[in-house]
Amino acid sequence: MGTNRKFTPRRNEPLHKINEAITAAEVRLVGENIEQGVYKTAKAIEMAYEQGVDLVEISPLAEPPVCKLVDYKKFLYEQKKKQKEIKANAVKQTVKEIRFGPNTNEHDVDFKTKHAREFLEEGNKVRAFVFFRGRTIMYKERGIDLLMGFANVLIEEGVAKLEQEPKMEGKKVAIILAPKGKKG
């Protein structure tokens, strides 16, 4: 009887080929304290052992594969550190929603525009939509005009850029505004 187990990589399996696991006949060697160039794999492994480090395949798809003389544990640690740094610096962007009715009055539009401005200045996207109930669907042009007026105010202020034109989605018309990129 077969099992329904999912394949998971082994914990002790290295992420890169190191030392004798490198199968290429020749490798391009980079790193510190060595003359960079193309070497036979056996010679490169010998050089790594002489320096007390590992031969790590860092670019297996290159012709010949690129290897580096480095302490593998230290190499993994530095890669993890770089990934963490990249993740920390990535901008986390969420989509905030603002809902209108087809007959929303001007004061409410101004109030919601103020909220949208705050969301955009925080770096979030804004998805504004007009929701139609019952027979109000007959006024979809009014909804589109309302959204475009809302968007134009934010675009003219230089806070937003239009990412998606007004689009009918079932019983609502929606637009998406993205924060205007800071120049400089």
Which residues form the domain of 42?
Answer: 19-79
Average per-residue pLDDT for the chain: 82
Choose one of 79, 103, 126: the last residue of a domain.
Answer: 79
112 and 168 inside one domain: yes
CATH of residue 133? 3.30.110.10
In-domain check, residue 127: yes
In-domain check, residue 87: no
103 and 50 inside one domain: no
Q: Among 147, 142, 104, which Cα is nearest to 126's?
A: 147
112 and 68 inside one domain: no
pLDDT at residue 184 is higher than 50: no
121 and 149 inside one domain: yes
101 and 125 inside one domain: yes
pLDDT per residue as tens digits for the range 89-123: 776 778 888 888 888 888 888 888 898 888 888 88
pLDDT per residue as tens digits for the range 124-141: 888 998 888 888 778 788
At 124 the pLDDT is 86
Alpha helices for the chain (secondary structure H): 41-51, 72-89, 106-121, 140-156
In-domain check, residue 184: no
Cα 122 to Cα 94: distance, rounded to the nearest angstrom: 10
Cα 130 to Cα 145: distance, rounded to the nearest angstrom: 10
pLDDT per residue as tens digits for the range 5-53: 554 555 555 677 888 888 888 888 887 778 888 888 888 888 888 888 8
At 6 the pLDDT is 54
Domain count, the chain: 2
